[in-house]
Structure 1
Amino acid sequence: MSLQSTFQPRHNSLNALRLLLAWLVIVSHSTALGGYGDELRVGGETLGGWAVFGFFGISGYLITRSRMGARRVSDYYRARALRIFPGYIVCLLVVAFAIAPLSYLFGSTGRYELLDAVTWALRNLPLYLPFINQPGISDTLADGLVFPNTWNGALWTIGYEFFCYFAIGVLVSVAKKTHLGAILVVCFCAMTAVRLLAGWHVIAVPQMLAGALPLGISFSAGALLFIYAQRVRLNNYTVAIAFGLLLAVILAGAATSLAHLPFAYLMLWLGQRLPLQTVGSRYDISYGVYIYAWPVQQCLALAFPGQALPYWAFVAVTTVLVIPFAWASCKFIEQPALRLKARQAAAEALQGGQDRLATPPVR
């Protein structure tokens, strides 16, 4: 069977996979933020990096599907903005005006300045844009932490994800459908080649671009899987080939450059095969887990300095504490925003039907 015929948009386990990936980011970041050592690496990439690759691969497939199915490009961009910005903005406000000023309760001896909190929220509002973003708020974290001036370092990927949304939106608008696949193949191969050459130190690329390239490769891999979904097979042989390719890449230590396509394929395959469709069907908290975990971990690092908590306990406590933030974000911010999107779409569809009924037929 093809990926197109197998994929069920309303009955899959992708929400469960995204939640697992968000938790893997917690597991990965805990080693560094808690001061337990360097992050675990698999195939030359951190565990958190693998999780982000999974996020972007799944997004590449789903977002390209959304753009191709949108009646108007404005509907697509509005839907994407309502998915990203409400939860993101509230997270900035919560960190700036609730978590940071209360950091002294967790052991911080630094000062909190309201003006600095305001500039932190405003400068990070453009999705943590490089060169504009502000990592810290006064010196509320300057107490011997591994990252003493970063209140939410996980947000840097959100801007690149939204840029991918924008890029695929423009591409579908300006390119012919018959050319989309070829253009995406060229983009995928070009980014992969640049990343490989940079990894081999053949060429030098700016650090910002070096970090963004793997995300773009993962997203384009997911987009390609959607464009060619009718030709992509899901059977034991193709899955075994994908696993084999991924294992070879891991053994070669080239995950950052070459793992994206087989990994995205396996994420989508698992999304169809795992019996976890009910996980996240009512409350998809994966986004909230991702954007709130870092501030929670910084507070834990303040409260338990010098690895006072065992590593496994640091991960467990972070997981327990971040769930209420993520659930509240989903329940009171993200879901109302998505309902607004649905109501607007329904109202526009109704208005369009009324307009058609009011228009006399052309004879």
Structure 2
Amino acid sequence: MPTLAAILPAERNNFGLIRLLAASSVVISHAYIIVRGDGAVEPLEALTGISLGQHAVNVFFFTSGLLVAASLARSRSIGDFALARFLRICPGLMVCLAVCAFVVGPLATTLAPARYLTDGAVYLWLLVTGSLLHITMALPGVFEHAPYPDVVDLPLWTLKYEIACYVLLGLAGVTGLVRRGARFWAIYAGLVVVYAATLVFPELTFGIVAVQHMLHLAVLFGLGVAAYRLREGLPLSWFWLAVCLAIYAAAYSGPLRPLATALLTGYATLILAALPLGALAHPFRCIDLSYGIYIYGWPTQQLIIDKLPGSSIAEVAIIALAIAGCLAFLSWTFVEKPMLAFRHKPLPSVRRLAAAIGRTAGTGAMAHLGKPGASGSS
């Protein structure tokens, strides 16, 4: 019965493949609403209450909590950790937004190319969408008549919650909350209780969707952090997976099903990560296409349905996965991987800034997480 610690080294796990499958699942799930419009029932939605894409997002946030906790443990300072998080998310995102604005936009807009490119709304879209505060702003004349109109890149909605989780984890590291085991577990238990209370009494969130999303995704991210803390003694066995499944079955008809889903998703992800898949998983330990497929999948699908109206769900999904996969490979090769390497040899000014932030916040504050065993693109 291996423990989580035994599979954390990159060459011993399948996290890269799992994240690739999760990103692909988001594309497949979104093909339904891309073709049929908002309100279309996506895969697994009728059976589990959430779509295949939402299950995939759950997997992303759990694995992110686990791998980013390992990244925090590896970091020399909080400045180094912050730089790593910035380089993982922002460069790839900025290039994707530029592709959407200056490649997808001109191909899909109903305006003349010159008029489109000189429209100030294009550059405002870059600013507003890049801030991640409002990701449903439309580009001028782009996807106006699509079944799911106007929205250029819907999956970006999760990124602000991902970044919020990074910030919270960084603060926990700086203040010593992660180091003090009892406090960490008390705070995480409190978060779970609050989330459970909002599931039983939805009026507690006052109908604010952002609060609902933040609680749900923070619980999943925190579950990944908790798994990393328990890595030395966390067994990975089919017995405990069956226990998680039984808990899910017991909660299936009640308001706490999302909480049981989070537990089952997290543990099932660890079991899948431990399977001896050999050569099948090996390429994705070196190449991470998940982020690229996730952020390029939606605009690719929107462009397909714009240029090939009447395409079936399967056609949109298959073509989009092929194109988004190519774009993801280019993004990883020429943007994401080089920028991640830049973390280890930044410009002197950036290095000095990171060191200054680290001294201010407490250099070495992350050492309490223990000797890291995980590696990878996170």
TM-score range, shorter chain: 0.7 to 0.9
CA distance in 2, matches of 1:64, 1:25: 24
Q: Counterparts of 1:38-49 in structure 2 under 5 Å?
A: 38-40=41-43, 41=45, 42-49=47-54
Q: Which residue of 2 aligns with 1:160?
A: 161
Report if the CA contact (8 A) 1:61-1:226 is conserved: yes
Structure having greater relative contact order (Cα 8 Å, sep ≥ 6)? 2
Residue type matched to 2:57 in 1?
V
- By how many angstroms is 1:87 displaced? 0.2
Does structure 2 conserve the Cα–Cα contact (< 8 Å) formed by 1:44 and 1:250?
Answer: no
TM-superposed deviation, 1:252: 5.2
**Using the alignment, how far apart are the partners of 2:105 and 2:28 within structure 1?**
23
* Conserved? CA contact 1:57–1:220, under 8 Å: yes
Structure 1: which 5+ runs fail to align?
353-363
State the 1:211 CA deviation.
2.8
Alpha-carbon distance between aligned partners in 1 of 2:288 and 2:274, rounded to the nearest angstrom = 17
- Give the alignment's Cα RMSD to 1 decimal: 2.6
Correspondence 1:327 to 2:332: no
> Which residue of structure 2 lines up, in the alignment, with residue 136 of structure 1?
138
**Alpha-carbon distance, 1:141 to partner:** 1.3
Residue identity matched to 1:220: G
Q: Contact (CA 8 Å) 1:239, 1:266: kept in 2 or not?
A: yes
Q: How does 1:47-66 map to 2 (within 5 A)?
A: 47-66=52-71
* Range that drifts further, 179-188 or 162-171: 179-188
Q: Give 2:101's aligned residue.
A: 96
Residues of 1 paired with 2:124 and 2:15: CA distance? 36
The one-letter amino acid paired with 2:159 is: I
AA paired with 2:162? E
Percent identity among equivalent residues? Answer: 25
Q: How does 1:100-139 map to 2 (within 5 A)?
A: 100-104=105-109, 108=110, 112-113=116-117, 114-126=119-131, 128-130=132-134, 133=135, 135-139=137-141
Say how many residue pairs are matched: 339
SS at structure 1 position matched to 2:231: coil
Q: Deviations over 1:82-106 (max 9, x none)?
A: 00000001001110111111115xx
- Candidates 252, 268, 290, aligned match of 2:294: 290
Q: Aligned equivalents of 1:9 and 1:196: distance in 2?
A: 39
Q: Return the alpha-carbon distance in structure 1 between the equivalents of residues 337 and 200 of structure 2.
A: 40
- Segments of structure 2 that go 5 or more residues without pairing to the other structure are 356-378
Whether the 8 Å contact between 1:100 and 1:140 is mirrored in structure 2 is yes
Match of 2:244 in 1: 242
CA contact (8 A) 1:172 1:180 kept: no
How far off its partner does 1:164 sit?
0.4
Aligned counterparts of 1:202 and 1:81: Cα–Cα separation in 2: 33
1:312 CA drift (Å):
1.4
Question: Residues 68 and 172 of structure 1 are in contact (CA less than 8 Å); yes or no, is this contact kept in structure 2?
Answer: no
8 Å CA contact 2:236, 2:270 repeated in 1: no
In the aligned structure 2, how far is the partner of 1:241 from the partner of 1:164? Answer: 28
The range that moved more, 158-167 or 95-104, is 95-104
Counterpart in 2 of 1:209? 211
Cα distance in 2 between the residues matched to 1:109 and 1:82: 35
Among candidates 277, 281, 287, match of residue 277 of structure 1: 281
Report the secondary structure of 1:343's partner residue.
Answer: coil
Q: 1:8 Cα shift? A: 2.6
Letter in 2 for 1:219: F
Report whether the alignment pairs 1:8 with 2:6.
no
Residue 337 (str. 1) matches residue 342 (str. 2): no
**What's the offset of the Cα at 1:6?**
4.0
- In structure 2, distance between residues paired with 1:226 and 1:248: 27
Deviation at 1:247, TM superposition (A): 4.3
* Offset from partner CA, 1:125-167 (integer Å, 9 cap, x none): 22x114xx45211122112x23211101110101110110111
Residue by residue, what CA displacement relative to the aligned partner does 1:3-51 show, whole Å, maximum 9, x if unpaired?
A: 2244334431101000100011011100001117332304111111110
Residue aligning to 1:357: none
* Residues in 1 aligned to 2:229 and 2:87: alpha-carbon distance in whole angstroms: 25
- 1:222 matches 2:224: yes
Q: Secondary structure at the match of 1:232?
A: coil
AA partner of residue 285 (structure 1): L
Contact 1:112-1:140 at 8 Å conserved across structures: no
Alignment partner of 1:142: what SS?
A: coil
Q: 1:302 to 1:157 in 2, by over 3 A?
A: same
My pick for the range that moved more, 114-123 or 251-260, is 251-260
